[in-house]
Amino acid sequence: MSAGHSYDAVAYWKANLRLIFGSLIVWALVSYGFAILLRPMLAGIPIGGTDLGFWFAQQGSILTFIALIFHYAWRMNKIDEKFGVHEE
Amino acid sequence: MSQFAINLIFVGGSFLLYIGIAIWAKAGSTKDFYVAGGGVHPITNGAAIGADWMSAASFISMAGLIAAGGYANSTFLMGWTGGYVLLAMLLAPYLRKFGKFTVPEFIGDRFYSKNARLVAVICLIVASVTYVIGQMAGAGVAFSRFLEVDSTLGLIIAAVVVFMYAVMGGMKGITYTQVAQYCVLIVAYTIPAVFISLQLTGNPLPPLGLFSTHVDSGLPILDKLNQVIMDLGFNSYTADIDNKLNMVLFTLTLMIGTAGLPHVIIRFFTVPKVADARWSAGWALVFIALLYLTAPAVASMARLNLMTTIYPDGTSAAPIQYDERPQWIREWEVTGLIQYTDKNEDGRIQLYNDVPSFEQEADRRGWEGNELVVNRDILVLANPEIANLPGWVIGLIAAGGLAAALSTAAGLLLAISSAVSHDLIKGSINPNISEKGELLAARISMAVAIVVATYLGANPPGFAAQVVALAFGIAAASLFPTLMMGIFSKRVNNKGAVAGMLAGLAFTLSYIFVYKGWLFIPGTNNLPDTPENWVMGISPLSIGAVGAVVNFAVAFIVSNATEEPPVEIQELVESVRYPRGSGQAQDH
């Protein structure tokens, strides 16, 4: 059962890779960026006794991860349908 | 009613529920046993993944780790959640489309190599067995504290319960008990947290309470905490740290290790469709986040509570008399997890950070060393008692801790038994085994795995705490990169995959063993395990991420130097990338 070549397989896979790439940039930015490496830059933004970097490290990154996964699942469903590779 | 009776009702009641589910969800086929029949709703699967993933380490230990390390230990929060983004986008949907039963099976088929499958089986078993020891030991602690039984007897009771639903029901029994266990553990974790947040900040939502004002002092609660602990010589809770490279690599190792742990991956094989695999990763993280957003609040609030218990009149006044210590300290002293020595013989409890920079202050106050040692693992378990909550909340915590340990143990045991019966027995030793024979083999290997895990849980090897790092290192350096290349590259071939896995594994294990001792045998380490000796400040716990890079690099170089994979393998890679047709691929 090859995946069939009746649809534009290459374009579908590229669309998926583009979406993954964009999502992973955000994923890295909030955790490795805001919460760790860029924390000194956010030190001037106070939040409840500490700074924004601390918030990203303990809460913000987790909330962003959830949003990223649901966004990806929702967009991929659209892309699946657009290219006609969705499941019955 | 005595506290013991209350605990017994909560724990006993939850166990009866799990056994009831086991009788209802009996596995009739290998498909039921390995993937729960493949018909689990994505939200149900999300809750089951939540319980599967959140172990005794998440429930019992994580808040204590954050309380002790403050900002620096945020790595656990990000590392143990960020992996789900990778699972949702890089692994779960495609492995679900592949539609087989185990992780080594994908590696064996994609890299058309029995050796690759065998290496994957070994990695899976080492990672899962090390992990399961911690769960059984955690269950033993919960039993001995709350049910006042000997911890070995407690472990045997726990093993019998897991045996009933895991051996009878396989993945089907495990899935539905995990959903029940998720409910028990999340209620148990959040109720005390809500009470404590209300007491300290007036805000009933702990994640918001963490950034709110402390009612007694009028300061933000994190400011108040910093003030109290820094007065006693401890490091600031919220301050930034210097070794960022290590913090990044440790977080990354936890993330890709999470994504590569087989007991989590196989849960995605239980949903009907590829789209459901994506949704269930999202739901799983929602369910996990309910606990992970509460944990940092519990950490800071419980630490502040502990400090104000010992120093009721402020840090500059004298601490409490030992004879007037609260009941919960007396009870935990019995377990040895809280220890008091009156070093300056003044009958009071001096709790402070005994470091050179604090020596002058300690001398001035006539303190001769820190007198109270509190094991950080008791923070969550003792939380309701520290906050003076009613007895039923304590019973709930007992049931919740056991639910967290048992649900993860069951998931790991299933991963181990399916690797043995499906990959070793059906895959290599006896390919012609009947469906009934394989199901029996799966049940027997599950039973053996439970006996081994129980024995190791009761007699944990001295290196038990070290090997959890090993589990993440192995998953990060061997399984995750190989699975990812199997999906995203058509060029990586059998030789490249095997060479990459072995190189990543050898590199990671060597770095760990150089500092921790070869095979963890004490005294055989080549360098002392201290930050000055680490290469570029990279701790052995953080090396898995570098091992993953080694794996990728070696696999690509070797593959490019050797022949392309056969056409049918390239077609297999094509087919896992497109969701259409996932339904029929389920069976063999």
Mean pLDDT by 10-residue block, N- to C-terminus, for chain B (588 residues)?
89 91 85 90 95 89 91 95 97 94 95 95 90 80 76 83 84 92 95 94 96 94 96 95 95 96 94 95 97 96 93 93 92 86 94 93 93 88 85 90 90 93 90 91 91 83 64 92 97 96 95 88 88 93 96 98 96 93 53
Q: Is A61 on the interface with B (CB under 8 A)?
A: yes
Cα→Cα distances B420→B238, B274, B427, B438, B498, Å: 46, 26, 9, 10, 20
Q: Is A69 on the interface with B (CB under 8 A)?
A: yes
Token pair in block for residue B75: 């790595």
- Inter-chain touch A32–B278, beta carbons under 8 Å: no
Closest-approach residue (CA) in chain B for A48: B211
Number of continuous H segments (helices) and E segments (strands) in chain B: 25, 2
Of B81, B273, B279, nearest to A62 by CB-CB distance is B81
Measured between alpha carbons, how far is B454 from B156 in angstroms, rounded to an integer? 7
Instruction: Find all residues with CB under 8 Å of A54, minimum gap 6, and list them.
Output: A39, A47, B71, B74, B222, B238
- Residue A88 class from Cβ within 10 Å (0-12 exposed, 13-18 middle, 19+ buried)? exposed
Q: Is A34 on the interface with B (CB under 8 A)?
A: no
3-state SS, residue A1: coil
What is the nearest CA distance from B60 to chain A, expressed in angstroms?
18
Closest-approach residue (CA) in chain A for B63: A58
- Inter-chain touch B88–A77, beta carbons under 8 Å: no
Are residues B479 and B260 in contact, defined by beta-carbon separation less than 8 angstroms?
yes
Token pair in block for residue A32: 């490795």
Does the predicted model carry a pTM greater than 0.80?
A: yes
**pLDDT given for residue B585 in this prediction:** 41
Q: A9 contacts in B (CB within 8 Å)?
A: 574, 577-578
State yes or no: pLDDT of A3 exceeds 70.
no
State yes or no: pLDDT of A1 exceeds 50.
no
Strand partners, B321: B348
- Inter-chain touch A58–B74, beta carbons under 8 Å: yes
Q: Is A70 on the interface with B (CB under 8 A)?
A: yes
Of A59, A61, A87, nearest to B273 by CB-CB distance is A87
Q: Is B278 on the interface with A (CB under 8 A)?
A: yes
Q: A49 contacts in B (CB within 8 Å)?
A: 211, 219-224, 226, 238
- Inter-chain touch B238–A49, beta carbons under 8 Å: yes
What is the nearest CA distance from A34 to chain B, expressed in angstroms?
12
Measured between alpha carbons, how far is B1 from B395 in angstroms, rounded to an integer? 12
- Inter-chain touch A86–B580, beta carbons under 8 Å: yes
Q: A76 contacts in B (CB within 8 Å)?
A: 93, 275, 278
Q: Is A64 on the interface with B (CB under 8 A)?
A: no
- Inter-chain touch A43–B240, beta carbons under 8 Å: yes
Q: A87 contacts in B (CB within 8 Å)?
A: 273-275, 579-583
Q: Is B55 left (phi over 0), alpha (psi -120 to 50) or beta?
A: beta
Closest-approach residue (CA) in chain B for A32: B248
- Inter-chain touch B240–A53, beta carbons under 8 Å: yes
Q: Please name the residues between 466 and 495 in chain B that touch chain A, using a CB distance below 8 Å.
A: none
Measured between alpha carbons, how far is B76 from B25 in angstroms, rounded to an integer? 34
In chain A, where the domains are located: 9-82
Of B221, B289, B575, nearest to A1 by CB-CB distance is B575
- Inter-chain touch A20–B90, beta carbons under 8 Å: yes
Class of domain B3-304+386-586: mainly alpha
Query: Which of B404, B399, B60, B388 minimizes the C-alpha distance to B192?
Result: B388
Q: Is B193 on the interface with A (CB under 8 A)?
A: no
Token pair in block for residue B565: 């994979």
Q: Side chain identity at A55, as an amino acid letter? A: W
Measured between alpha carbons, how far is A10 from B490 in angstroms, rounded to an integer? 13
Q: Is B265 on the interface with A (CB under 8 A)?
A: no
- Inter-chain touch B220–A49, beta carbons under 8 Å: yes
Q: Is A49 on the interface with B (CB under 8 A)?
A: yes
- Inter-chain touch B575–A2, beta carbons under 8 Å: yes
What is the nearest CA distance from B462 to chain A, expressed in angstroms?
32
- Inter-chain touch A58–B220, beta carbons under 8 Å: no
Q: What is the ipTM of this complex?
A: 0.94
Measured between alpha carbons, how far is B465 from B376 in angstroms, rounded to an integer? 14
Of A57, A65, A77, nearest to B74 by CB-CB distance is A57
Q: A50 contacts in B (CB within 8 Å)?
A: 211, 220, 222, 238
Q: Side chain identity at B426, as an amino acid letter? A: K
What is the nearest CA distance from B240 to chain A, expressed in angstroms?
8
Q: Is B212 on the interface with A (CB under 8 A)?
A: yes
Q: Is B130 on the interface with A (CB under 8 A)?
A: no
Of B219, B274, B289, nearest to A66 by CB-CB distance is B289
Tally Cβ neighbours within 10 Å of residue B339. 12
- Inter-chain touch A69–B248, beta carbons under 8 Å: no
Of B82, B207, B244, nearest to A37 by CB-CB distance is B244
Measured between alpha carbons, how far is B201 from B181 in angstroms, rounded to an integer? 30
CB pairs under 8 A between A and B: 153
Q: Is A77 on the interface with B (CB under 8 A)?
A: yes
In chain B, where the domains are located: 3-304+386-586
Token pair in block for residue B39: 């018909």
What is the nearest CA distance from B285 to chain A, expressed in angstroms?
6
Q: Please name the residues between 357 and 386 in chain B that touch chain A, using a CB distance below 8 Å.
A: none
